[in-house]
Amino acid sequence: MASLTVRQLDEKLKQRLRLRAAKNGRSVEDEVRTILRSAAADAESFAGGGGPARSVPSEQPQKAAIRVLLIIGGGIAAYKSLDLIRRLQDGGARVRCVLTRAAQHFVTPLAAGALAGQRAYTDLFDSQSEFDIGHIRLARDTDLIVIAPATADLIAKMANGHADDLATAALLATDKPVLLAPAMNPHMWTAKATQRNLMQLKADGVRVIGPNAGEMAERGEAGIGRMAEPLEIAAAAIAMLHGSSALAGRRVLVTSGPTSEPLDPVRVLANRSSGKQGHAIAAAAAAAGADVVLISGPVKLADPPGVTVMPIETAQQMLAAVEKALPADVAIFAAAVADWRPRQVSANKIKKHGRPPTIALIENPDILSTIAHKKSGRPRLVIGFAAETADVIGNAKAKLKKKGCDWVLANDVSPATGIMGGDRNTVHLVTATDVESWPPQSKDDVARTLIERVALALADNKP
């Protein structure tokens, strides 16, 4: 096949191409592709054979996949960005890559380009790149920009409006949403300058995912600084693009709050769960377009908007309400269900005379396990919470197996963490194959991240 580059065309033709591309809102490169595609279809229908007849006029732009510009910064985690390209593609995105000069010490433009299926861009002052697409068009011919890994340096440059290379120039020129996945040494992450820059970027409307807690690439270093996993980043990116429709048409069941087991007409056995996390999850699912049923124990919280709330008190009532609310695509069990209830509920107030009474307990139904082991009508994704005070991840892995659920979100609820009743949470997402340690964040952010993961899992058809 003959090879032809746009550079070989005469100036007049190039000028016409540029004007036509600008008029159609495409890069010169894409414009040439559109013209060639259209000419090939004309030739086919003229020959009367081969492919199907074209039903759209040649100037009609084809319905494009969502477009993501992935900027790869110069950090160890750059190798994970190659996997991220695939994950984004799985979510229906067409990915174009920009590598910073430092990034090219860790991964090659060839590898990124081969995975993306189109050349990767590296230089601001490369005349061919500038002619093909140009840094301004690179920034605008996209639906979303993802920066992964976002180095401390890139974060600093962005926060201060620098534009001295292709990545930062594109970031300054863009009018599209930006998702940032920081990755760096924990000391760089907690440095005042990094945190200041990050606050500025958040105020500017940049969405940040991670970094997670865990082992660093450097031996013996651990803390917060690991880049969020490619699946998490892809889920956040796809959710940003689909906005409020990521879970449209899906039914999500959420349990929340404590249960309250009566002992007599005035006394109950209860726990300290506030319901903040479960309610935040229900709200995030509703915001993503799902039809949400929230089955809640007694809490001091307002009902989340757009959610059907079924109030209950005891574990038995909660199980009955869950069964009634099925079928659902996803069931998320965030309630703190009492393991036991008093064997006898006294009809009258137990009086204080003589020795204190002995209270016999019996086991409550295990709601998570019951639903996860359902033979028919099991939700596609069953998610449990594990509130632990010791060996958080070990216990969560055991719970995942024992209960037969798909994911467990484990958190440390020791009093020192302030999680029980507090507004922040530190969770680990445990699946059959992986453990992701999410950074400390607000319960609203945990909920949003979880719902993004759920949307991606359902779209992907696998937990």
Binding site for ligand FMN (CB under 6 A): 73-77, 100, 102-103, 149, 151-154, 183-184, 188
- Tell how far CA 184 is from the center of its chain: 20
Closest CB to ligand FMN among residues 166, 456: 166
Q: Where are the beta strands (DSSP E) in 172-217?
A: 178-182, 207-208, 212-215
Round to whole Å and give the CA distance between 338 and 7.
Answer: 72
Catalytic residue among 197, 212, 271, 411: 271
β-pair partners for 146: 70, 179
CB of 99: closest distance to ligand FMN in angstroms? Answer: 8
- Using DSSP's 3-state secondary structure scheme, residue 456 falls into helix
Peptide linkage before 265 cis (omega within 30 of 0)? no
- Lookup result for tokens 């970031």: 171
Q: How far is the CB of 199 from ligand FMN (least distance, A)?
A: 17
Residue with the CB atom nearest ligand FMN in the bound state: 75
Whether the CB-CB separation of 338 and 300 falls below 8 Å is answered with no
The nearer residue to ligand FMN, 99 or 328, going by C-beta atoms, is 99
Shorter beta-carbon distance to ligand FMN: residue 124 or 309: 124
Where is 261: in which H helix or E strand? Answer: strand 261-262
At closest approach, how far in Å is the CB of 157 from ligand FMN? 7
Strand 340-342 versus strand 361-363 pairing type: antiparallel
The three-class DSSP label of residue 333 is strand
In the residue annotation, 185 being an active-site residue is answered as no
Q: Are 168 and 158 in contact (CB under 8 A)?
A: yes
Q: Minimum CB separation from ligand FMN for residue 121, in Å?
A: 14
Taking each helix axis as running N to C, give the angle between helix 78-90 and helix 109-116, from 0 to 180 degrees, rounded to the nearest 10.
10
Q: How far is the CB of 226 from ligand FMN (least distance, A)?
A: 9
For the four alpha carbons of 146, 152, 153 and 156, in that order, the dihedral sign comes to: positive
Three-class SS state of 338: coil
DSSP letters spanning 48-83: T-SSPPP-S-TTSPP-PPEEEEEEEPSSTTHHHHHH
Q: How far is the CB of 106 from ligand FMN (least distance, A)?
A: 7
Three-state DSSP class for 406? coil
Phi-psi region of 430 (alpha: psi -120 to 50; beta: other; left: phi over 0): beta
DSSP one-letter code for 258: B
How many other C-beta atoms are found inside a 10 Å radius of the C-beta of residue 129? 20
Q: Report yes or no: 220 and 424 within 8 Å, Cβ to Cβ.
A: no
| β-strands 307-311, 291-296 pairing | parallel
Question: 436: which 2 tokens?
Answer: 């992701």
The separation between the first and the last C-alpha atoms of the chain, rounded to the nearest angstrom, is 44
Residue 132 or 153: the one with the smaller Cβ distance to ligand FMN is: 153
**Residue nearer to ligand FMN on the CB measure, 154 or 451:** 154
Taking the least distance from each CB to ligand FMN, the nearer of 183 and 338 is 183
Closest distance to ligand FMN from the beta carbon of 200 (Å): 16
How far apart, in whole angstroms, are the C-alpha atoms of residue 328 and residue 307?
Answer: 14
Least distance from ligand FMN to the Cβ atom of residue 287, Å: 32
Is the CB of 111 or the CB of 350 nearer to ligand FMN?
111
Three-state SS for 101? coil
CB of 82 to ligand FMN, least distance (A): 15
Q: Which is nearer to ligand FMN, 74 or 289 (CB)?
A: 74
441-442/424-425 β-pairing: antiparallel
Nearer to ligand FMN, 149 or 289 (CB): 149
Q: Which residues are catalytic?
A: 271
